[in-house]
Structures are given as C-alpha cells and as structure tokens.
Structure 1
Amino acid sequence: MEVKNLKKYYKDVKAVDGISFNVEEGSIFALLGPNGAGKTTTVEILEGLRKKDSGEIKLFGETVDDIPKEMKKRIGVQLQKSAFFSHLTVRETLSLFRELYGRGYRVREILEMVHLVDKEKSLVKNLSGGQLQRLALGVALINDPELIFLDEPTTGLDPQARRMVWGIIKDLKSKGKTIFLTTHYMEEAEYLADVVCIIDHGKIVEMGGPEEIIRRSGLKTVIEMETIEDFVVKGAEKLDANKYRLIVNEPERVLPEILKSGKVSNVMIRKPNLEDVFLKLTGHSLRD
C-alpha cells in the first residue's frame, strides 16, 4: 500500500492533512493517534468506506479511487464494532460469509485459526466478548485476504484474550499477510508492529520502528511514583488518584527532592516505552 498526500477536510476541520506513508508487503503497520487525530477517517478512506478530498492511494500497485470489486476480494476488514445474526451459530456465520465471497479458507481452517473450534455450534448471542472479537477476526480472514485491516481488534478484552488475539496476528504475519492495525493499547503496537505511524491533528508527527522511535525521542528515564496526601509532583503526569509519571533526562537531580519530601510511598525507575514517546509528541495518552 502507498499513500501520498492524503487529505480530507470537514468544513474548517483538517481531519487528514496531507499524510504520506508506505505499508510493506508482509508487514504489520500500526496507525496511532489520540481521539480526533484523524486516525478513523484515514482508515475508513483506505477501506473504501469514505471518500478522500485529494491525494493518491495505491493498493497492490494500482492507483485506486473506488476499490474495484475484484480487489475487495483481496482485502479483509475487522471493524471496531461488528454486528452478526445473533441466532446463527459460529459455524453458520462463517459459512455465510464464505458463500458471499465465493472463495477463501474452509470454515474448519478459520475455526482453528481463531481458536473457536470448541464454539462452532454455539449461538453468536452466547459468545463472550473475546469470542466475538475472534469471530469478527475470522470473518475478516474467511476470504484469505492479502491485506487485512484490524481496527482496534482487542478493545475491551481481558489480558488473556488480548494475548490470544496477538498470537493470531503474529501467525497471520508469518503467513505473509500484510496487516494495517489501529489500537488503543500502546503495548500492543510496540509488541506487534514493524512500523508505527503516529498522527495528531491530521498530520504525521512520527513514524518508524518502535525501538527506532523511542531512540529518536531522546527520552532517557521514566520515574513512576505513588504519593500520599496531596503531594503534587512538578512536571509529572497524573496517572491515577495518587500515581504520577515523570519523564526526565537526569533522574539523579530529581529523585533526591522527591524522596526528601517524605510523601512518596513507591518509586519505580524504568526505560522509556512507546507510550512515553506518544505522550511527549501529542500531549495525550493514547486512551485520552
């Protein structure tokens, strides 16, 4: 996929303001941004659900405005929220979409791929949140797509279910699939993505491999602490009622003052991660 100078405006709002990027075949590309950054609009344009104002999009080496029907058969999409027929079984749901495409994996293969073999006879309405997400992923894969859009595939899942989906995504990459991922979980992007693209106010503010982005940020040390009473840590981001995060280059100059206050009950010093860089670039955490 190649995107050049993509733009989408709504009256005076520049939702997507001239962004350009390439997604390499067989890679996982993660698009990140705070709410209102233009992330959803970008994805919907690429999926063919929304019209662009200007710019060029190439899919499979071909410039496209409206995605041709034959090309759509090579693409899989898992939306943020999926609606299925509640009184169909898991197998019936997958069979339905398999028939609509007229091509792709056998239903049994998909059931195995998304770990739903033991639920194939269960009604959709009786599935847990994690099982529904895996069914939605199965539907996105049923046509054996080369390019897969995953829009927040693990939102609302518990850590165990999230890790299961991560394993499926890694397995897809090993099969040579190209994956375009959006997520609200920074650790997900850091774990899965080959390339991370961070957008804010419709523009790209950083792009590269996760480790490369962290290294370029220049951030050295992160101090996370829990305080007692009403102790305000200057320059720190409040994470919770009494939890703060402070990003510094010289912790030895800051720590003595914090510890001397006597109002800090717990301190952790660690290396910066992708979420710390995101906060520096956008002024928001990803979930804001």
Structure 2
Amino acid sequence: MEVRALVKRYGTKTAVDGLDLVAEDGVTAVLGPNGAGKTTTVETCEGYRKPDSGTVRVLGLDPVRQAAQLRPRIGVMLQSGGVYSGARADEMLRHTAKLHAHPLDVDALVERLGLGSCGRTSYRRLSGGQQQRLALAMAVVGRPELVFLDEPTAGLDPQARRATWDLVRDLRTDGVSVILTTHYMEEAEQLADDVAIIDGGRVIAQGSPEQLCRGGAENTLRFSGRPGLDVSSLLKALPADCTAAEQAPGSYRVVGKIDPQLLATVTSWCAQHGVMPDRISVERHTLEDVFLELTGKELRS
C-alpha cells in the first residue's frame, strides 16, 4: 500500500494533511490519538472515501477508480457495521465465503474464533465480542491478499484476543499483508512488523517497534550502591544529554542513550568511587513511551 501527499477535508476541517505512508508485506500497525486522521486514512485506502488530493495505491490499484478489481483481493473489518442486523451469524459468513473463489474452511474458522455456539443467532443479538469475531471472520474468509483490521480485539476477553493474535500471525505466515489499527500498544508490539504513528493528519514516525523504541524515547539505566554517592561527579563523566539522580537512598538512575560505552562509563565511575553495584539494569522504553513522547497523548496499553 502506498499513500502520497493525501489530503482529506470535512468542510473546513482538514482530517488528513499531506500524509505519506508506505506499507510493505507483513503486518503494519497504524497508531494515533483520537482525531489524528488514522481512520480517515484507512477508509480512503479501503475505497470508502475519496481523497481531495494526493494518490493512493493498494495492491497497485486506485481504490476508488479501480474498486471492482481491488475488492475481491482485499478483506475489510470495520469497527462497526457492514453486517445485516437481522441475518444469522453462520448465514452471513457462509454467504461471504461463496463470493470468493477459494475461501477458507468456514467450519474451521468458526471453531477457531469461538463462533460455534452463536451460528443461528441474528447479528443484532450477538454480544459485542461475538460481533467483533464475526466481522473478523468475514474479513479473512475469502483468503485476501491484504486485510484491513480496524480495532479487531476491542471488547474481546483475553482468550479471544489471543486467538485473534494467533490468526493474524498465521495470516502473515501465509503471505497475507495486514493493515492493523489498534489502541492497544501491546498488540502493536506483539504483531506488527512496521508501525506508523499518525498525529495531526500526518505520519510523524514509522519503523519497526524495535527501531522506534531504540530511536525515539531515551532509555533508563538503574543501579544500586551505598547511599549518598556524589551524583554531580557522575554527571560530569556522562554525555551532556544524560541525567542522573539518586531517586531513593542507594538507588540511582541514569536517563539517556544507553549504549555499551555509557554502561562502561558508569561501571568505571563506580569502581573509581569504590562502589560495587548490587545490581545494574537497563530498561528498554516501550512503544507507549515513544507514542507519548511524540504525541503528548496516552493510548490504552
């Protein structure tokens, strides 16, 4: 999927403002605070919204002008809607499967997602979690080349969430690419090969979870020693962009770019001051730390 200089307005409000986004094979997670433009971006890529300017290509096709060629090749899980409220769950899933040449085994998919007990229940009478799982099943049953999943685990219990994660991993193994929007940082860290963070209608950071965590927020080194060490002398030994403090008696923290050289500096300083640290630990910043640093907003973890 390739998006270049995308602009989408609603009246006087610009929801997407010159956004660039490239999603390669694998799982791409799209993160952003409410109102950032991520839903509008994804819906434009799905062909549900027409861009005001810019270009969008999905599997090499324009999702608006070439919708007829694109639709059989993609799967879409909307956050809500897309299902006839009076239709039975099993009926809707089997109908969707018949629209495709080589669908997945419906019975196996039903069992995997825990939908067996509600097959004859109308959509409107399903619980929120059951509706989510049915929408996911309908999105993947046609063996799409690319599937859009909008908040696929919202409202699911832990067991159903893990089953969904396993399904996404299997899709990736089978060569299916996934565009995943989620509010759960752990979900993005667990599933995504690539993460795009959107804020203010633009992509403000993109990379693998490891790249973003390494290159975005700083890391923290902690060590324990005797109380009252001269932290000011430690600061002089550290790079200028680092901070150091005794947070509690005998508990020290260094914040900055933690690399082997800095670790050697700290251990050397300890040796010079006759300190044998009880423990030294390095804390890798999480994707949520990076998100908060870049956007100033929290997302559910």
TM-score by length of 1: 0.78
Answer whether contact 2:21 2:203 (CA < 8 A) is retained: no
Q: Within 2, Cα distance between the matches of 1:10 and 1:127?
A: 33
Q: Secondary structure at the match of 1:253?
A: strand
Q: Secondary structure at the match of 2:29?
A: strand
1:50-65 matches, within 5 Å, as: 50-65=49-64
Answer whether contact 1:18 1:55 (CA < 8 A) is retained: yes
Counterpart AA for 2:248: P
Q: Secondary structure at the match of 1:73?
A: helix
Answer whether contact 2:217 2:293 (CA < 8 A) is retained: no
Answer whether contact 1:220 1:249 (CA < 8 A) is retained: no
CA apart distance, 1:129: 3.2
More moved, 60-69 vs 136-145: 60-69
Answer whether contact 2:185 2:288 (CA < 8 A) is retained: yes
Answer whether contact 2:18 2:54 (CA < 8 A) is retained: yes
What whole-Å deviation, never above 9, does each CA across 1:4-55 have from its counterpart, x for those lacking one? 1111123443311112222213x00011110111111101101111110111
Q: Secondary structure at the match of 1:143?
A: coil
Closer, same or farther: CA 283–218 of 1 in aligned 2, 3 Å? closer
Q: Secondary structure at the match of 2:198?
A: strand
2:259 match: none
2:165 match: 166
Q: Within 2, Cα distance between the matches of 1:141 and 1:10?
A: 31
Q: Within 1, Cα distance between the matches of 2:128 and 2:221?
A: 34
Answer whether contact 2:214 2:285 (CA < 8 A) is retained: no
What whole-Å deviation, never above 9, does each CA across 1:136-172 have from its counterpart, x for those lacking one? 1111112221110000111122323222211111111
Q: Within 2, Cα distance between the matches of 1:57 and 1:108?
A: 36
Counterpart AA for 1:7: V
CA apart distance, 1:90: 2.8
Q: Within 2, Cα distance between the matches of 1:64 and 1:88?
A: 28
Q: Secondary structure at the match of 2:17?
A: strand
2:193 match: 194
Q: Within 2, Cα distance between the matches of 1:115 and 1:130?
A: 10
CA apart distance, 1:85: 4.4
Q: Within 2, Cα distance between the matches of 1:103 and 1:271?
A: 44
More moved, 90-99 vs 120-129: 120-129
Q: Within 1, Cα distance between the matches of 2:146 and 2:92?
A: 22
Counterpart AA for 2:199: D
1:16 match: 16
CA apart distance, 1:72: 0.4
In the TM superposition, structure 1's runs of 4+ consecutive aligned residues that sit over 6 Å from their partners are: none
Q: Within 2, Cα distance between the matches of 1:51 and 1:85?
A: 25
Q: Within 1, Cα distance between the matches of 2:62 and 2:88?
A: 39
Closer, same or farther: CA 64–107 of 1 in aligned 2, 3 Å? closer
Q: Within 1, Cα distance between the matches of 2:221 and 2:92?
A: 47
Q: Within 2, Cα distance between the matches of 1:53 and 1:222?
A: 48
Identity of aligned residues (%): 44
Answer whether contact 2:113 2:160 (CA < 8 A) is retained: no
Q: Secondary structure at the match of 1:133?
A: helix
1:85-164 matches, within 5 Å, as: 85=84, 88-101=87-100, 104-117=103-116, 119-125=118-124, 127-164=126-163
2:248 match: 256
CA apart distance, 1:112: 4.1
Q: Secondary structure at the match of 1:20?
A: strand
2:286 match: 273
2:295 match: 282
1:202-213 matches, within 5 Å, as: 202-213=201-212
Q: Within 1, Cα distance between the matches of 2:242 and 2:118?
A: 51
Counterpart AA for 1:201: G
Q: Which structure 1 residue ranges, 5 or more long, are not aligned?
A: 224-247, 260-268
Q: Within 2, Cα distance between the matches of 1:194 and 1:150?
A: 15
TM-score by length of 2: 0.75
Aligned residues: 254
Counterpart AA for 2:144: P
Counterpart AA for 2:5: N
Q: Within 1, Cα distance between the matches of 2:143 and 2:57?
A: 20
